[in-house]
Every structure is written in C-alpha cells, then in structure tokens.
Amino acid sequence: MHRTFMLAIAVCAWLAAGSARAQDNVLNLYSARHYQTDEALYANFTKLTGIKINRLEGREDELVERIRNEGSASPADILITVDASRLEVADKLGLFQPVKSTLLEERVPANLRTPNWYSFSTRARVIVHNKANVKRELVQNYEDLASPSLKGQVCMRSGSHPYNLSLGAALIAHDGEAKAEAWARGLVANFARAPKGGDTDQLRAVAAGECGVTVSNSYYLVRLLRSTKPADQEAVKALAVVWPNQASWGTHVNVSGAGVLKHAPHKDAAVKFLEYLASDEAQAYFANGNNEWPVVKSAVASNPELRSLGDFKRDALPMADLAKNIAAAQRAYDRAGWK
Ligand code: FE
C-alpha cells in the first residue's frame, strides 16, 4: 500500500510539472528495473540527444495496471521490464505499438525481438547444486529434477513466478504440454519444502544443505559471487552451477526488454531510446547493471565474475514462441500442484 502511495505522489508531482506535453523534448519511462547503474545509462542518453528522461519506477504489475488505467491519456512512452512472460502480459493487453527500426533489426538477434518489443539483455536459468550432497551427473537437465532419485532434494520458488512460468513455457515448446506437466508433478514430489522466497533464498538453502539442488537466474548467482559478505562467500563455496540441457535444446534464456507504448506522446524519442539501448556503450551498462549478457554481439561487458561462468549452449527458441506458452505453463503447474 505504502509503495503505491509513494508512486502516486511521484506521478502527481511529475504531471504538475507539465512534463507530459508532446512538444517537450522529454521521454517518459516506466521502469521495473531498479539498478543503480541505470542512472548512468539514462544520463548518457540525455547527454547524447538532449532528451530528458522522466522515470517512474514501480513493480511490474503496478506499472502495467497504471498504463491500463491511464489509457489514451497515458504520459508513458516506454515500458521496461524483465522476463518475457511479463512483456507478454503487457503485449497481450495491447499496451505496446509495433516499432520498425532497421538499426534494431540489425543489432538485436531475431529470436530476441517481437514486432512489439525488443530484448536488451539476457539471463540464463541455471541448475545449482550442493557439491557435497548432489552428484553433478544427476542434474544435467531440467528434466532430471523430476527424477525420483532426487526425492526430498529440490528447492524451488513459486510455480506462478514469471521465471518459472517462462521455464515451463520452454519445456512445453520442446517436450510438449503433457511431458511438461508430468515434469512439474515429479518436481513437486521431490520438493524438500513448500516453495517460498526468491531465487537467492533457494541458493542459500542449497548452500546450507536444506536441499540439494535448485534452479536460479544466473545473475543471482553472480551477485553472490561478487558479494564481499563473508556469509555469501561461504555460501558460494558449497555451490556448483550446471548449464542445463547442453546435449539437447540448450539452457533456457530469458531477457530484459522494452517496448514503445501505444499512446506514447513522444514516439520519436521513444524509438531513439530503444536504438540507444542497442548501442555498444548502452549495452554494456544495461547488461552489467544486473550481471546479465548484452544481446548485441559487438558489445563487451566488463564483468569478470559473469565471464567466470564461461560459455554455454543457449536455447534458440524465439521469445515470441516462448511467450505464447506462458498461459499453458501456468495451467500445467496448477494441475501438478506447484503453488
Ligand atoms: Fe530477478
């Protein structure tokens, strides 16, 4: 409640300042990313273009709800968020407009863009196990986590979280809906405890031996690797990472992405901003800010801990195809009892 209230105050002050007028040299950005390095990213855009950025930060669902309620009067030009499943939610609600840009088409790989939104960084959903408690050979693939040999060993966050829904959507694309549902059933049967907390909580539980294996977005692991806290350094010593499904369809990869909103008052500035995000310089900021990989091949992220994870075979499934399976993934998890 408190947070929504703060958000409302911020928007009132912003509107009172009159910054939503179309003739102004501004860009109104609704962002569900909250990384300090994003400050430098936005300041650099203003320096290059003279376009001032008004940023409204909030939770994904709050921002989407706000854009819906504002309708055609919305001052928002761009929505930036994480995970294809969330971009899909916004897209399904008709919040975006199509963007044609030769530059974006050249720089953002085809499988990481849709007609209505573009990806600007990638993250992998990796398997992390306790080195002492679970043998690496047993956890080479997502499918392995449903094997009865891992009974009582698996910790996972909620099945309705977008990260797990996107993983389910990938499993449906490659293995089919029936197999994906059977997988979820097997996974639930292997739970060491009922789902609770975020990915980092699962990593800590695996490190502490409360469970033997989990699935986590790669940047949470890199965050622990980069942490100077003794408890975190202790935790990473107990952990090992596996790139899942290297012998089959590749590791599930998700994205941070953005699209131009349907009623954007500053469409030209909005397209310019997306093109800016695809520049080598912005790519490095954008990806490094959350320990992710750039989507543009020529961009270089200076992030030794991220680089230390090495290279891997990625699932080539187009984000657009992944997004189509999100609803089916939720239904499969519901039937399998993955709360
Ligand atoms: Fe996250």
- Give the pLDDT confidence of 130-179 residue by residue, as tens digits: 999 999 999 999 999 999 999 999 999 999 999 999 999 999 999 999 99
pLDDT at 13 over 80: no
Distance from the CA of 106 to the center of ligand 1, in angstroms? 28
Of all residues in the chain, what percent carry a pLDDT higher than 90? 87
Distance from the CA of 136 to the center of ligand 1, in angstroms? 25
Query: Which residue ranges make up each domain of the chain?
Result: 27-122+254-307, 124-252+318-336
Distance from the CA of 334 to the center of ligand 1, in angstroms? 22
Distance from the CA of 208 to the center of ligand 1, in angstroms? 21
What is the C-alpha to C-alpha distance for residues 85 and 132, in angstroms, rounded to an integer? Answer: 34
Distance from the CA of 59 to the center of ligand 1, in angstroms? 12
pLDDT at 238 over 50: yes
Distance from the CA of 80 to the center of ligand 1, in angstroms? 14
Please classify residue 49 by burial: count the beta carbons closer than 10 Å to its beta carbon, then call 0-12 exposed, 13-18 middle and 19+ buried.
Answer: middle
Distance from the CA of 122 to the center of ligand 1, in angstroms? 12
Distance from the CA of 176 to the center of ligand 1, in angstroms? 26
What is the C-alpha to C-alpha distance for residues 280 and 257, in angstroms, rounded to an integer? Answer: 16
What is the C-alpha to C-alpha distance for residues 300 and 311, in angstroms, rounded to an integer? Answer: 14
Distance from the CA of 9 to the center of ligand 1, in angstroms? 26
Among 96, 87, 64, CA closest to 326: 87
Distance from the CA of 198 to the center of ligand 1, in angstroms? 8
Distance from the CA of 236 to the center of ligand 1, in angstroms? 18
Distance from the CA of 239 to the center of ligand 1, in angstroms? 19
Distance from the CA of 217 to the center of ligand 1, in angstroms? 7
Distance from the CA of 21 to the center of ligand 1, in angstroms? 33
Please provide residue 282's backbone torsions phi and psi, each rounded to the nearest 5 degrees. Answer: -65, -35
What is the C-alpha to C-alpha distance for residues 27 and 177, in angstroms, rounded to an integer? Answer: 42
Q: What is the pLDDT of residues 15-62, one digit of tens each?
A: 444 444 445 799 999 999 877 778 889 999 999 999 999 999 999 999
pLDDT at 8 over 60: no
What is the C-alpha to C-alpha distance for residues 103 and 142, in angstroms, rounded to an integer? Answer: 36
User: The tokens of 188 are what?
Assistant: 């639930």
Distance from the CA of 222 to the center of ligand 1, in angstroms? 12
Name every residue whose Cβ is closer than 8 Å to that of residue 304 and which is 6 or more positions away in sequence. Answer: none
Of all residues in the chain, what percent carry a pLDDT higher than 70? 93
What is the C-alpha to C-alpha distance for residues 123 and 315, in angstroms, rounded to an integer? Answer: 12
DSSP-based three-state secondary structure for 134: coil
* pLDDT (mean) for 309-334: 95
pLDDT value, residue 14: 52
Among 153, 184, 189, CA closest to 167: 184
Distance from the CA of 305 to the center of ligand 1, in angstroms? 18
Assign 2 a pLDDT band (cuts: 50, 70, 90): very low
What is the C-alpha to C-alpha distance for residues 78 and 10, in angstroms, rounded to an integer? Answer: 17
Q: 27-122+254-307 with 124-252+318-336: one CATH topology? A: yes
CATH of domain 124-252+318-336: 3.40.190.10
What is the C-alpha to C-alpha distance for residues 173 and 142, in angstroms, rounded to an integer? Answer: 14
CATH class of the domain whose range is 27-122+254-307: alpha beta
pLDDT value, residue 257: 96
Assign 253 a pLDDT band (cuts: 50, 70, 90): very high
Q: What is the pLDDT of residues 264-318, one digit of tens each?
A: 999 999 999 999 999 999 999 888 888 999 999 999 888 999 999 999 999 999 9
Distance from the CA of 181 to the center of ligand 1, in angstroms? 24
Distance from the CA of 22 to the center of ligand 1, in angstroms? 33
Distance from the CA of 60 to the center of ligand 1, in angstroms? 12
What is the C-alpha to C-alpha distance for residues 196 and 202, in angstroms, rounded to an integer? Answer: 8
Q: What is the pLDDT of residues 97-126, one digit of tens each?
A: 999 999 999 999 999 999 999 999 999 999
Distance from the CA of 25 to the center of ligand 1, in angstroms? 32
